Structure 1
Amino acid sequence: MIKTGQATNRQLRAHLPAALPSRLRSLWHSARGAHLGSGSVIFPRAQLLRYPGNIRIGAEAIIKSDAHLCPCRPTAIVSVGMRTTIGFHTFVYASERIDIGDDCMIAPFVYIVDSDHGIAAGTNMNRQPNVTRPISIGDDVWIGAKAVILSGSTIGSGAIIAAGSVVRGTVPSGAIYGGIPAREIGRRS
């Protein structure tokens, strides 16, 4: 008998890019310093930007086309867990640290950023330093399309973020959050 998670994983993996080009892309990203777990897949046009040596992608993780993983500073870290899928056109920009757990599903067009611009009056905002606070996303999290995860957010394991939501703060494990700003709209049963 196939468990639900196994069936879903098989469906997803049935539509992966061809093995040889995928392996060559992985070797190229590894040569640039990225840490790629066994069986991880980087789709064509996915980009590991600026400091690829600060990117860690777990075994069997999938990074789809036009996704950006970007440590924006030499000390910034982007970490993606095992069997996690990062959707098409999703942007993950870390000025400090973004940790995404195992078995997460991150839909297309999600934006995850751990920094904000300074906004003090009297100085142009583009001349003020960024204010950073790390982001932590637990295991088995589902983030819907076009959601925005802002600096300092912590999303507990098993949580769901509804499509189009804006998250800042803490989302408890197992909670379903939605809206702008996101608030609890349910619990997984």
Structure 2
Amino acid sequence: MSQLRQHLKYGFGQKWRAFRQKRRLSHLGSRVWIDKNVELMRYPINIRIEDEVVLKEGARICACNDRAKISIGARTTIGYHNFIFASAGIEIGSDCLIAPFVYLVDSDHGIQKDQLINQQPNQTAPIKIANGAWIASNVTILKGVEIGEGAVIAANSVVNRNVPAFEIWGGSPAKKIGERE
């Protein structure tokens, strides 16, 4: 059991928040920690959360339309004030660590100059984060990106292309800076 999970206390408030969300989601596993001020937005029926996930305060998880799917694997931790917004799909594997202030968004707007940006269609592509990845604080992961198993993304990075398994990437835009040994 992780150091974090050893200290979590599943009191009445915690159990009440999980009970309230269980009916709204497609699946809510056992012993999911939902902190105060967590929002599961728009189409919560399209959100799947496996066992022992930790959702820390201020997290915003949004399936933005009726086709968007979000899944979070077992024992993953979603840090304080994370934004996970799916228009196509976002899949986060098991045993991932996602630090505070991370932004995952699988879409962006068109930018043709002959039309207002807010009237142009979104361009979408799913995001996938494989098992055991660590996403450090203040990272942005953009549409269509796959983060490989056990990969590490350094703090303050912007990831706009795929990251192979067990590599360490950082920067804006992110590039390979090392490998896990």
Q: Which residue of 2 aligns with 1:82?
A: 74
- Please say if 1:176 is aligned against 2:168: yes
- Please say if 1:54 is aligned against 2:51: no
Structural RMSD (CA) = 1.0
Segments of 4+ moved more than 3 angstroms:
none
Q: Secondary structure at the match of 1:48?
A: strand
Q: Which residue of 2 aligns with 1:3?
A: none
TM-score, normalised to structure 2's length?
0.97
The 1-side partners of 2:8 and 2:58 are apart by 15
Shift of 1:109: 0.2
Q: Which residue of 2 aligns with 1:107?
A: 99
Q: Secondary structure at the match of 1:112?
A: strand
The unaligned stretches of length 5 or more in structure 2 are none
The 2-side partners of 1:38 and 1:14 are apart by 16
Q: Secondary structure at the match of 1:185?
A: strand
Residue by residue over 1:98-149, the C-alpha shift from the partner in whole angstroms, topping out at 9 and shown as x without a partner, is: 0000000000000000001011120011110100000000000000000000
The one-letter code of the counterpart of 1:19 is: G
- Please say if 1:25 is aligned against 2:17: yes
Shift of 1:32: 2.0
The unaligned stretches of length 5 or more in structure 1 are 1-5
TM-score, normalised to structure 1's length?
0.93
Shift of 1:14: 3.6
Identity %: 49
Q: Secondary structure at the match of 1:25?
A: helix
Residue by residue over 1:36-82, the C-alpha shift from the partner in whole angstroms, topping out at 9 and shown as x without a partner, is: 11111111111111111111111001110100110000110111000
Q: Secondary structure at the match of 1:99?
A: strand
- Please say if 1:137 is aligned against 2:129: yes
The 2-side partners of 1:81 and 1:118 are apart by 32
- Pick one of 119, 122, 125 that aligns with 2:111: 119
Q: Which residue of 2 aligns with 1:167?
A: 159
Count of residues in correspondence between the two structures: 181
The 1-side partners of 2:6 and 2:165 are apart by 30
Q: Which residue of 1 aligns with 2:144?
A: 152
Q: Secondary structure at the match of 1:98?
A: strand
Summarize the alignment of residues 32-51 of structure 1 with structure 2, pairs less than 5 Å apart: 32-51=24-43
